[in-house]
Structures are given as C-alpha cells and as structure tokens.
Structure 1
Amino acid sequence: MITLTNVRKEYNSDVAIGPVNLEIPAGGITALVGPNGAGKSTLLTMIGRLLGMDSGDIKVAQYDITTTKSKDLAKILSILRQENHFITKLTVRQLVGFGRFPYSHGRLTEEDEQIISRYIDFLHLTDLEERYLDQLSGGQRQRAYVAMVLCQETDYVLLDEPLNNLDIAHSVQMMQHLQSAAKEFGRTIIVVLHDINFAARYADYICAVKAGQIVEFGSPREVMRDEILTDIFNTPVQVIEGPNGLLAVYH
C-alpha cells in the first residue's frame, strides 16, 4: 500500500498541490487521471521522491520515503518519468540492464543477465535488443524504457504518461503489457494517463485529480459516472456501456 498523509506542495500563492490524503492499495493498476495541470505528475514524482514535499508524509509498503536510504528505496520503488535523457548510443539490452543497477552496481551477474532477458522477452524486444535507441521508433523506445523499469523488480512501479507519443494501437499494446506485468509479476503499478477511457479499460482503480486535490478514488465503475467526469473535466461527459466496458463520450 502507498499512503499519503497531508501531503502538500506549494509553488506560489495561486498554485498548490494538496493537502492530499490517499491510500493506494497494493496490487493491480491505479490510474491517475484529470485535466492538464491538475497535479497528477507532481503527485507521482513526490511519491517517487524525485520532488520534495513542503509538508506531509508518504509511505510505500510502510517505508517512509523521506527517511529510507536510496539504495533500499530503489529495491522497493521504481519510476519512469516523461523526460528520458539516456545516451542514444546505448543498445536496448544496455538500457534495460540499467534496471539492475541497485543490485549489481554496474557489475552484471549471470542472474542479472537472465532477468534482463526475461523483461526484454516480456516486452517483445528480443529482435531489437542489439539495436541502438536512436534506431527505434517511439513506441519501441517506450517499451524499452518500461522494460528497464520492470527489470528493477520493485513491488511498486510508477509511470508518468507512458502512452505519450504512442498511437492507439501501440497504446493498447502498452496497457496490455502493464496489465500482464501487474498480474504475472505481482506488481503495483501507478500510472498517469491522459485518456480516461484507457483508465476505465485497464486500471483496477482510478484516482481523479483536479486543481491539486483528489476528488474521486475507486473502481472504474465507481468513478466512471456522467456527473463525476463532467465535474472533473469541466465539459459534458456521457458514460456508455461499450463492448469492452464503460466508455466516456465527450460532448
């Protein structure tokens, strides 16, 4: 479980996140959704300790993120931000291998190599593992980044808009991979999503954020309601039953 207690981040007198009180259950996928500027990515990066809080407490699996040593936290929690600045003259396999750094500190063992291969195979990157990052499409590169994070083998995985720059088909594939990772590897995945319909289709829980506050948290069926989505996105939304579950239609 991830627990946020009175978490607050203030940028200026007009822009602030919180105070946020939230419990994210262990297991499955929790999607953070909301309009642009709502504070979704800020919350995620505070949970991942990449951004400091002005006040409050965050615990991941009972570990206080402000006091837990980095080397210990890196074995519990992994995060992938939107901005990735890896050297393009890395191969896919070299990139994924960075996920083993908390354990190997750069000296990969035979066990590390087996784990790297496991996640390369899992993300269907086997035929691309010797290619350089700048030789990949955007979707292939994004899969490689996600493989790197999964290769860290943490119970908790944070992903900031992993569907950015992906077309519909590749977005569906990515969410299917994440859903499989949550089930097959027992991971708790927290993901910032721009599209509420992807959250409804693939997430176990939806956390709706608006103006720096948590306004709704629950299962997709609890959150996917006309009045709730209309309020969150400030535009008329109708929720209908589609062939694969609930679907939000904007008017």
Structure 2
Amino acid sequence: MIELSGVEKHYAGTRVLGPIDLAIERGGVTALIGPNGAGKSTMLTIIGRLLEADSGHVTVGGLDVRTAKSRELARVVSILKQENHFMARLTVRQLVTFGRFPHSGGRLTETDQRAIHAAIAFLNLAGMEERFIDELSGGQRQRAFVAMVLAQDTDYVLLDEPLTGLDMRHAVGMMGQVRAAADALGKTVILVIHDVNFAAAYADRIVALADGRVVASGTPDEIITPEVLERVFETPVEVLEHAGRRVAVYYRPDGAAAPEWSRNSGK
C-alpha cells in the first residue's frame, strides 16, 4: 500500500500540493487525473522520492520514503519521469540495464541478465537491443524507458505521463502494456495521465486532483461522472456509455464540440 498523510509542498510561499491524505491499495492500475497545475506530477515525484515534501509522511510498501535507505527504497518503488535526458548515446539494452543498478551495483549477474531480457521482451523490443535510443521512434523510445523501469523489478511502478508524444495506436499499445504489467507481472502501477477516457478504460482506480488537493477517489464508474469531472476540470462534460464503459465528452456551453486541444487538457 501507498499512504500519504498530511503531505504538502510549497514553492516561494505558495502551496502547490496538499494537504493530501490518501491510501492507494496494492495491485492494479491507479490513474491520477486533473487539470494543469493540479499537483499530480508533484505528488507522484514525492512518492518516488525525487522531490521532498515540506510536511507530512509517505510510505510505500511499509517503507518511510523520507528515511528509507536509497537502495532499499529502489528495490520497492521505481519511477519514470516525463522528461528523460541521457547525455551518453545509449543502446536500448544499455538503457534497460540501468534499471538493474539497485540490485547489481553495476556488476550484472545472471539474474540481472534474465531480468533485462524479460523487460525487453515484455515491451516488444526484441531485435532493437543494439539500436541507439536516438534512432528510435517516439513510441519505441517510450517503451524502452518503461522497460528500464520494469527491469528494476519493483512492486510499485510510478509513470509520469507515459503517453506523452504517442499517437493513438501507440498510446493504446502502451496502456495495454501498463495493464499487462499489473495483471501479468503483479505490479502496482500509478500513472499520471491526461486522457480521462484512457483512465476510465484501463485503470482500476482514479484519483482526481484540482488545486493541489484530492477532489475524489474511486472506481472509474464513481469518478467518470459529469458532477466529478465538471468540478475537477471546470468545464461542461457529458458522460456516455459505450461498450459497457463510460466515455467523457467535453463541449462548449453553446453545444458545439470542443476543439481537440481542450479535450486533452490538464496536468
């Protein structure tokens, strides 16, 4: 379980997150949704200890994020940020190998090699292992970074906007692999996502944030409602049923369809 208690973050005296009191059960996929500036990525990076909270406590799998030893925490939780910059020119296999560092300390064992191979195969990157990252398409590159995270073999996997830069086909493929990581590999996946309909289709739980606070938390059926989404995004929303799933449609008050850019707003 991931637990946040009284978590707050401020910049230049302005509160950007909190207070947050939230428990995320182990297992499945949890999606964090909300508008720009809602605090989703801030909360995710605090959980992954890439950012320190100003107050409150966070535990992941029973470990106190603030006090746990780095190597111990890195064997429990892994995180992939939206911006990933490597100065060195790396192949896919070299990149994925970084995920094993908390286990190997840089000295790869047979167990490490098996984990690297399994992560590459799981993300359908076999045959690309010796290609350089900067030679890949956006979708292939994103899969390579996710493979690096999965190679770390943690119970908890944090993904910050894994669909950034992906077209519809690759976004669907990525969400399918996120779902498979939870179902087939037993991972607890928490991801920040813009598209509420992807969240509705693939997540077990949705946490909706606005203005640095949790507005609502529950199943897709509980969150994908006009009442919740209009409160979170401050725009009219119609929710339809399609193939047994709820689909959110954004529109302008005059009834005309909203432009594409407004349908995917929010971070």
TM-score, normalised on structure 1?
Answer: 0.98
SS of equivalent residue, structure 2 residue 127: helix
Whether the 8 Å CA contact 1:199–1:220 is kept in 2: the answer is: yes
Match of 2:256 in 1: none
Q: What is the total number of aligned residue pairs between the two structures?
A: 251
> For residues 88 and 246 of structure 2, what CA distance do their matches in structure 1 show?
40
Match of 1:217 in 2: 217
Amino acid at match of 2:196: I
Q: Tell me: CA distance 1:68–1:14, structure 2 relative to 1, closer, same or farther (3 Å).
A: closer
> For residues 213 and 78 of structure 2, what CA distance do their matches in structure 1 show?
24
> For residues 50 and 88 of structure 2, what CA distance do their matches in structure 1 show?
23
TM-score, normalised on structure 2?
Answer: 0.92
SS of equivalent residue, structure 1 residue 194: coil
Match of 1:58 in 2: 58
> For residues 249 and 120 of structure 1, what CA distance do their matches in structure 2 show?
36
Amino acid at match of 2:105: H
Higher mean Cα deviation, 106-115 or 41-50?
Answer: 106-115
Match of 1:193 in 2: 193
Does residue 1:30 correspond to 2:66, yes or no? no
Match of 1:84 in 2: 84
Cα deviation, 1:86-116, whole Å, max 9, x if unaligned, reads 2352110110011110111111112211111
Amino acid at match of 2:83: E
SS of equivalent residue, structure 2 residue 247: strand
Matches within 5 A, 1:1-251: 1-87=1-87, 89-243=89-243, 245-251=245-251
Q: Tell me: CA distance 1:60–1:27, structure 2 relative to 1, closer, same or farther (3 Å).
A: same
Amino acid at match of 2:80: L
Amino acid at match of 1:20: I
> For residues 174 and 160 of structure 2, what CA distance do their matches in structure 1 show?
13
Higher mean Cα deviation, 238-247 or 93-102?
Answer: 238-247
Unmatched 5+ stretches in structure 2: 252-267
> For residues 176 and 245 of structure 1, what CA distance do their matches in structure 2 show?
16
CA RMSD of aligned residues (A): 1.0
> For residues 27 and 237 of structure 1, what CA distance do their matches in structure 2 show?
30
- C-alpha displacement of 1:46: 0.5
> For residues 182 and 139 of structure 1, what CA distance do their matches in structure 2 show?
20
> For residues 4 and 117 of structure 1, what CA distance do their matches in structure 2 show?
34
Cα deviation, 1:38-74, whole Å, max 9, x if unaligned, reads 1000000000111111100001111101110001000
Whether the 8 Å CA contact 2:8–2:15 is kept in 1: the answer is: no
Cα deviation, 1:123-162, whole Å, max 9, x if unaligned, reads 0000211100011011100000000000000000001001
Whether the 8 Å CA contact 2:5–2:20 is kept in 1: the answer is: yes
List, as ranges, runs of 4+ consecutive aligned residues in structure 1 with deviation greater than 4 Å: none
Amino acid at match of 1:177: Q
> For residues 4 and 128 of structure 1, what CA distance do their matches in structure 2 show?
39
> For residues 236 and 198 of structure 2, what CA distance do their matches in structure 1 show?
19
Identity of aligned residues (%): 56
> For residues 112 and 55 of structure 1, what CA distance do their matches in structure 2 show?
37
